[in-house]
Structure 1
Amino acid sequence: MARESFDKEIQFLRMLVLTSGAFSRQQFAERLGISVHTFDKTIRRLKDVVSSMHQHLPQEQRKELSETIRFSYYDSADPLLLFLFRAKSVKESESQRISLLLGAMNEQALTAMELLDMYCGSLSPGLPLPDEKTIRSDLKYLEEVGVIKRESGPRPYRYRIQDELVRSLSDEELMDLYDFVDVMANTQVPSVQGYLLRDGLKKHLLRNQARQHAVEPFLYKYHYYSRILDEAHLFTLLHAIRQRRKVHFLYFSPKSEQSYVARSTNPLFERGTEGKTEKTLPLKIVYDHQYGRWYLLSYGREGIRKYRMEGITQIEEDESVNEAWYEEKKHELAEKIRYSWLIDTGRPVTVRARFYNPEDSEPNFVKERVRLQGQWGQIVMEDEHSFLYEITVNGTTEIKPWLRSFGSSCEVLEPARLRREMIAEWKEIQAYYESV
């Protein structure tokens, strides 16, 4: 989806959100593995992006970068940090060129040479002229992402805007479609493409004189910033999985002191990094709804590997592998995560827990939640006060937060080690509330 990598901005914005401005410029730069000068340049760039998004507002109402990163309910209705995909998915020169090409194709279908002549004729003096190869590359990109359509017929091919959907629907139908896309983009994953479609529909409705409040009926509190940011790598990895291709990238583990480092362009001044260069075969991508995290499961020299996608930078595709061997590794992974609550590949263990029914509550929301979220576990016994839930999982690390989230409504019975761990954790929590 993106034509340009923006790993630095992704890590920059993630840290800005997580630290809430607690780091100094020097601390921020050290954590990212960049210079203070690069830090200043990056934040200026992001401020320009925010200003460009609100350029229709009076100067006194323009949003600053610090004002977009707030935790007010109403200020977070639009998902924070999505503007990266709007601003950095193409370079500035590409953005100008593509805008002119789309404007020309909006009224009629044109060939690549006609578009080149039109573009050269409308270009500002002093700017470099593109060649035919550049225009064809832009057309190929726009066709891949579904913005334009190549008409059938003999060469030279003619291209036009692919907007049959919005033109064939009435205003009322467009409003219903906008509401549907808005809800789905805010509640389902992946969501970036949904947000971009929502923005396109919104602009179209406003051009048709729809009222602003009519196209914003819902407000959402956006919690998981990594969910949006890590989708930058999602489609690259999905393409590699479909093509059975290996990928290589620089990886920073969650325990690493750094989360990013710039590409070295001068070997004389190459710096050591805490990142590790990885080459692996992507097999599966898993999303953790509880924490809003993406995981890559893959096969490498050390066997099945697991990576947090927030630590992946400088990702590129590599060579493809044999289909039969790829299917064998996929089957091996499926067996390893057969009893994984999420991605744990540890030894299977049976967990038994007693859930207590809420008093004077109908329906029983505790039982409904266990049935909804309990995956392949089963209720093996129940009475009027409680019920027993049993499940076999790979290790207890991943299921523990889910069990703990039920509070006093859940009592872990087996295994004994997990029960002792839960008792110790609840005693620690109790100590926090002792009288001072």
Structure 2
Amino acid sequence: MAKESFDKEIQFLRMLVLTSGAFNRQQFAERLGISVHTFDKTIRRLKEVAGSVHPSSQEQSQEISETLRYSYYDSTDPLLLFLFRAKSVKETESQRISLLLGAMNEQARTAMELLDVCCDSLPADLALPDEKTIRSDLKYLEQVGVIRREPGPRPYRYRIQDDLVRCLTDEELIDLYDFVDVMANTQVPSVQGYLLRDGLKKHLLRSEMEPHAAEPFLYKYHYYSRILDEAHLFTLLSAIRHRRKVQFLYFSPKSEKSYASKNTNPLFERETKGKQEKTLPLKIVYDHQYGRWYLLSYGREGIRKYRMEGITQIVEEDEPVAEELFMARLEELAERTRYSWLIDTGRPVKVRARFYNPGGSEPNFVRERVHLQGQWGQIVEEEEDSFIYEITVNGTTEIRPWLRSFGSSCEVLEPLQLRREMIVEWKEIQTYYEPV
């Protein structure tokens, strides 16, 4: 369902929140690899969707870039979630599915009865669906768990799957809502939790529940990419589960562009800046420090790493690879990432660092944090005012931000090259605070 345009909107929103509207229309279009006309059309579509989801958070005439810049903190909901609520379906699909759900909410119906409902209720300017289209919609809704097929002979009857909310009391529903709210805001992945939370909240409000009863906790979300990248997460997890290769157009973080339209007219075929990839997904890794998702896979060049924010036009192949081959690739990946702080597959190196205990502080929060976040590293020496921590990691690139985050409480001892690099970085930071 409009997968290609979903990619465009994801990259569009990513640039919008990262640049805070600093680009003009021409610069934005060039960066995305689209025309200014397509830019205008896309932003109109996003304004319509955002306005329908957050009608009270913005004026209709307000630019969506201003909404993201100034109104993001007006709501506890992650504003970018409206993209998933819209699901990037076409207008005809959206209206048709709404009619189908409304009809099945009243009673269980067959595909032919639902076809009659659509033909009678759709606006005259929209094309009428056929039986194949209705059955395709029903299959999709059944796969995502929105409807269920009633037991019995053909023709099969379908109804809304809402047993959960119907069998729980109001007090139990509030407890369930609170649990989903906490988990969606503190765990990954989160988008499905947010969507479930919204469904429960609407049901509670329809049951004449006081609005404040459904807002016991307040969260503020900061990692935009984490939400946007979950659009591809479950496609990749499905490919891993079924041992299938995937194809996609990839834009590296250093690429000048982050998107390319899918050209269907050969007259308008043009060279893209992205690279067409075909690879076997093995593992998904989430970086808590930067809020990024990574795909680890095996391709022609061996073990490959991709930032999921650069993946577009993803397609899962039909034929699975042999289980023996898949397990062999997994074992190779495990060995290559054995000493990875995150996903680095470089040469193993031993890092030694001295951490200084906070003066007069009990408990020792520096030591507690090293124990909590230090992975397989160990404290090998202890003194009254400090302790020495050792760990073997693949390269020093990924561990460096963690060491730096301790500020003056951490001194890198080995390797010498890392120590010199840290000295240069801190001198550069010091210049930022020199008196003007």
TM-score (norm 1): 0.95
2:22 alignment partner in structure 1: 22
1:381 alignment partner in structure 2: 381
| Distance in 2 separating the partners of 1:49 and 1:346 | 44
Q: Following TM superposition, by how much is the alpha carbon of 1:106 offset from its aligned partner in structure 2, in angstroms?
A: 1.2
Q: Following TM superposition, by how much is the alpha carbon of 1:105 offset from its aligned partner in structure 2, in angstroms?
A: 1.2
Q: How does 1:161-172 map to 2 (within 5 A)?
A: 161-172=160-171
Give the 3 Å change call, closer, same or farther, for CA 22–126 of structure 1 in structure 2.
closer
| Distance in 1 separating the partners of 2:323 and 2:286 | 25
Contact 1:54 1:63 survives alignment (8 Å): no
Contact 1:73 1:220 survives alignment (8 Å): no
2:104 alignment partner in structure 1: 105
| Distance in 2 separating the partners of 1:273 and 1:58 | 37
Give the 3 Å change call, closer, same or farther, for CA 71–292 of structure 1 in structure 2.
farther
- Consecutive unaligned residues in structure 2, runs of 5 or more: none
* AA in 2 matched with 1:26: Q
| Distance in 1 separating the partners of 2:265 and 2:216 | 52
Q: Following TM superposition, by how much is the alpha carbon of 1:219 offset from its aligned partner in structure 2, in angstroms?
A: 2.1
- Consecutive unaligned residues in structure 1, runs of 5 or more: none
Contact 2:96 2:122 survives alignment (8 Å): no
- The aligned length equals 434
Contact 1:54 1:62 survives alignment (8 Å): no
1:82 alignment partner in structure 2: 81
Q: Following TM superposition, by how much is the alpha carbon of 1:154 offset from its aligned partner in structure 2, in angstroms?
A: 2.0
For the residue of structure 2 that corresponds to 1:299, the secondary structure is strand
For the residue of structure 2 that corresponds to 1:429, the secondary structure is helix
For the residue of structure 1 that corresponds to 2:278, the secondary structure is strand
| Distance in 2 separating the partners of 1:166 and 1:199 | 13
Contact 1:68 1:80 survives alignment (8 Å): no
| Distance in 1 separating the partners of 2:259 and 2:109 | 43
| Distance in 1 separating the partners of 2:70 and 2:57 | 24
1:264 alignment partner in structure 2: 263
| Distance in 2 separating the partners of 1:63 and 1:50 | 11
1:323 alignment partner in structure 2: 323
- State the Cα deviation string for residues 372-428 of structure 1 (Å, max 9, x = none): 111111112223211111111111000000000000111111111111111111111
Contact 2:104 2:159 survives alignment (8 Å): yes
2:3 alignment partner in structure 1: 4
2:173 alignment partner in structure 1: 174
* AA in 2 matched with 1:238: L
Contact 2:51 2:60 survives alignment (8 Å): no
1:365 alignment partner in structure 2: 365
Q: Following TM superposition, by how much is the alpha carbon of 1:320 offset from its aligned partner in structure 2, in angstroms?
A: 2.3
The percent of aligned pairs where both chains have the same amino acid is: 82
Q: How does 1:186-197 map to 2 (within 5 A)?
A: 186-197=185-196
Contact 2:251 2:273 survives alignment (8 Å): yes
Q: Following TM superposition, by how much is the alpha carbon of 1:182 offset from its aligned partner in structure 2, in angstroms?
A: 1.1
1:412 alignment partner in structure 2: 412
For the residue of structure 1 that corresponds to 2:80, the secondary structure is coil
Q: Following TM superposition, by how much is the alpha carbon of 1:34 offset from its aligned partner in structure 2, in angstroms?
A: 0.5
Q: Following TM superposition, by how much is the alpha carbon of 1:59 offset from its aligned partner in structure 2, in angstroms?
A: 9.2
Q: Following TM superposition, by how much is the alpha carbon of 1:288 offset from its aligned partner in structure 2, in angstroms?
A: 0.4
* AA in 2 matched with 1:159: Y
Is 1:284 aligned to residue 283 of structure 2? yes
For the residue of structure 2 that corresponds to 1:68, the secondary structure is helix
2:334 alignment partner in structure 1: 334
- State the Cα deviation string for residues 142-188 of structure 1 (Å, max 9, x = none): 11111111122222222111111111111111111111111111111
